[in-house]
């Protein structure tokens, strides 16, 4: 997207509201939806990847150190990762509004 959708005029919208750029949903910050965010306790994590597998938004990525970390740009805070984690390494904490 060349500019955010809230700047588009009605004349700029493609006929039928088609999206001509494949995969541009990746630009949508679904992370805005959450009230809880996952915090990983690396002491307990066994690198099993269940959080990565169960995450419905594919927000988890493997980092260079071998940990699966939630990308908060996409994470909606559903808590499925914390529920599925076999060692209890993930805790959902209230995300404070950033000021």
Partner 1 sequence: MGRRVGMEVSIAAAEAVKQANVDVISAYPITPQTHIVEHLSELVANGELDAEFFCVESEHSALSVCVGSEATGARSFTCTSAQGLALMSEITYIASALRLPIVMIIANRTLSAPLSIWNDHSDAMSIRDCGWIQFFAENGQEVYDHVFISYRLAEEREVLLPVIINMDGFILSHVIEPFEMIEQEKIDQFLPPYQPLYRLHPDRPITMGAFALPSIFAETKKAQEVAIRSSMPKILEVWKAFGDMTGRYYKPIEAYKAEDADTLLVTMGSFGETASVSVDQMRQEGRSVGLVKIRLWRPFPFEELRQVALKAKNLVVIDRAVSVGMGGPVASEVKAALYGYDSRPSIYNFVAGISGRDVAPSDFIKMVDKAEIEIEEGNKEGYELYGVRE
Residues that bind partner 1 (CB under 8 A): 5-6, 8-11, 13-20, 22, 25
Query: Residue 79, exposed/middle/buried by CB under 10 A (0-12, 13-18, 19+)?
Result: middle
**How many Cβ atoms from other residues are within 10 Å of residue 80's Cβ?**
16
Select from 47, 82, 52, 48 the least CA-distant residue to 67: 47
Minimum distance from CB of 50 to partner 1 (Å)?
30
Q: Which is nearer to partner 1, 5 or 71 (CB)?
A: 5
Q: What is the rounded CA–CA span in Å between residue 2 and residue 44?
A: 43
Minimum distance from CB of 3 to partner 1 (Å)?
11
Q: Which is nearer to partner 1, 11 or 99 (CB)?
A: 11
Q: Which is nearer to partner 1, 15 or 64 (CB)?
A: 15
Minimum distance from CB of 16 to partner 1 (Å)?
4
């Amino acid at each position: 997207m060349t500019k955010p959708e809230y700047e588009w005029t009605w004349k700029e919208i493609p006929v039928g509201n088609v999206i001509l750029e494949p995969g541009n949903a990746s630009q949508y910050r679904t992370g805005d939806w959450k009230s809880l965010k996952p915090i990983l306790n690396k002491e307990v994590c066994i690198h099993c990847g269940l959080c990565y597998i169960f995450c419905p938004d594919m927000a988890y990525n493997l980092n260079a150190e071998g940990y699966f970390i939630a990308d908060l740009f996409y994470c909606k805070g559903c808590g499925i990762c914390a529920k599925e984690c076999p060692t209890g390494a993930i805790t959902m904490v209230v995300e404070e509004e950033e000021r």
